[in-house]
Chains A and B, each alone.
Chain A
Amino acid sequence: MSRHDPLWLRVRSVASVVVVLAAWEAVARAGLVPPLFLPAFSTVVVTLWGVIRDGSLPEDLAISLGRAAGGLTLATLAGVLVGIAMARNRVAHWLLDPFVALGFPSPKIAFLPIFILWFGIGSLSKILLVGFACVFPVAIGTYAAARGINRVLIWSGRSLGASAGVLLGRVVLPACAPRIFAAMRVALPVALITTFTAEMVGGGGGMGATLMYSQRFFESPVVFAYLLVMLAVGLVLDTTMRRLQARSPVLRGDA
């Protein structure tokens, strides 16, 4: 079998993950690092099973995912609206462009205290902050897509007597769908990081809050267990979105 054989390369890929986990276990077992800093992988797995069984992890996960999903939904609705308005209307473009230009590069997490001040420490402030953080990539993606629509497409729609509403639903939105979905894929990690950080800073339950709480009480195995779950959540959600995009002709953009 050659060094560059596809199967052999896949074996190496699995191997690198196994090696990392084994090294982790070995370092922890050998007592090279205090368990407070690095609990053994096996201990973390046992702890993980424990927090799943007693229902605390599923509850935290449901809270966090709910907030992230709520914020991302809000951001998609608002972002598509803003993006299309900016692309199709000059006044809207003039009015909104400076805010998008200013908001896109700014670290939205800095606004967290304002959201807490206005909407409390519960879910509402977090959902709105996530929406605020995610609206910019979606708006910019939609704007770029709507600007790029073939004019002939719109002209031919008009000449066939399509109303503005029909044009939007039948021509503009489907043509923008791939870019909007791509922007949502960009926004997804932003939604997760904003949710977790807001929970770590502001409390109010969820994965981030428990993570912070466990760290304060030096429950390292719980910290690692929650980190593993966060990693898995990001991976699963991104893979799902990628598969969805690959399967659906509308989202792939070759419908």
Chain B
Amino acid sequence: MRRLARLAPLAPLARIVPLLLFVAAWHLVGVAGLVDPAFLPPPGRVAVALVDLLRGGQIGDNIAVTLLRAFTGLALGATAGVWIGVMMARSEVFDAYAAPLVGATYSLPKSALVPLFILWFGIGSTTAICATFLACLLPVVVNTHHGVATTPKVLVWSAQAMGFSDREMLGRVFLMHALPDIMTGLRIALGFSFVLAISSEMIAANSGIGKLIFMYGENGTYDYMFAAITSVVAVAFSADRALLAVTHRILRWHDSAVPAADAA
């Protein structure tokens, strides 16, 4: 046990080893001639392509466009989602009107709306942002609603006995109690925002990392395609970890400071 404890600072390194093994296997498969390099460009060539794309700015520019679309949709969706979720939890009448609409659209695969938005808004950022917005909206609505609706009565009563009105309690009690749930919804929405931004770029767009990946696939420049996909994985992973770190920080007071979704 003591030896293990001394190795603890090396833990992040130990997590990288399997990834290195994977890259080595990928390389060996190519060297051994098991697969046609046209179908699986060796990792060395993908790395060269990645450096080339980073230097040339193609990845930077296109990811910036994709991130702008994803985060605009996410920000709009989260803002509207928190508002709708609060309204649904606090007003039975609003809930009666909104619940069937939320229920019906919750299970609609949002990317299916992209063709419709193309029809309405043409090809471009508006379409991608609208699709992202709708996809991010619903998980935030559902989670905020749950968080606000499960606020313990005794907390509400305590605040009432200290003279707080419903309006004053919104930010001090209801939203604070819902914060862990809102962060869970936000994490789901963050994942959706990437999926929807990239999907809509693949379906129809003139720019963005989704478009870039798709273009290299059509052209048959597969080493560049792999490089672009690698960059997407890296960005999505970093964004998720950043959100987790923020969540961890603002939920210091919470029993499970790390959300359950962090099982991996």
Contact = CB atoms under 8 A, between A and B. Distances in A.
Does A touch B (CB under 8 Å) in the complex? yes
B101 to A, nearest CB: 6
Interface string A221-237: 00110110011001101
B144 to A, nearest CB: 18
A200 B199 CA distance: 9
B109 A113 contact: no
Contacts, number: 177
A174 to B, nearest CB: 20
B92 interface: yes
A192 B109 CA distance: 6
Interface residues of B, number: 63
Q: Is the interface of B mostly helix, strand, loop or mixed?
A: helix
Interface residues of A, number: 66
Given A94-B14, A105-B240, A117-B39, A215 B225 contact: no
A12 B16 CA distance: 55
A113 B93 CA distance: 47
Contacts of B120: 37
Given A98-B19, A107-B194, A113 B225 contact: yes
Contact of B108 (A12, A114, A234): A234
Contacts of B18: 94-99
A27 interface: no
Interface of A: 3-4, 9-10, 12-17, 20, 36-37, 94-114, 116-118, 136, 140, 143-144, 189, 192-193, 196-197, 200-201, 207-208, 211-212, 214-215, 218, 220, 223-224, 226-227, 230-231, 234-235, 237-238
14 contacts: A10-B96, A16-B97, A17-B104, A37-B120, A106-B237, A107-B232, A117-B217, A117-B222, A193-B110, A197-B109, A200-B203, A223-B119, A231-B104, A238-B107
The 8 closest A-B pairs by CB, nearest first: A234-B107, A113-B217, A105-B240, A215-B115, A193-B109, A12-B96, A107-B194, A16-B97
